[in-house]
Amino acid sequence: MSNNIVRKGRDYAAFSFEDKINVVLCNYSLDYFSFLFIWKYNRSL
């Protein structure tokens, strides 16, 4: 388990700075927009 985390950390560290930002922005913006969509949809029910 810990070896897997370390390996993922090394893979992540191998990314360039811009790649890290893109990955984070894509992941968070998708989560954020899906959260907003679900929240608004639930409020409209």
Domain ranges of the chain: 16-45
Are the CB atoms for 31 and 39 separated by under 8 Å? no
What does pTM read for this prediction? Answer: 0.32
Q: Which residues 6+ apart lie within 8 Å of 12 measured at CB?
A: 20
Residue 1: is its pLDDT beyond 60?
no
pLDDT in tens, 26-39: 677 777 788 888 88
Concatenate the DSSP letters of all residues of 5-30 into one string. HHHHHHHHHHS-HHHHHHHHHHHHHH
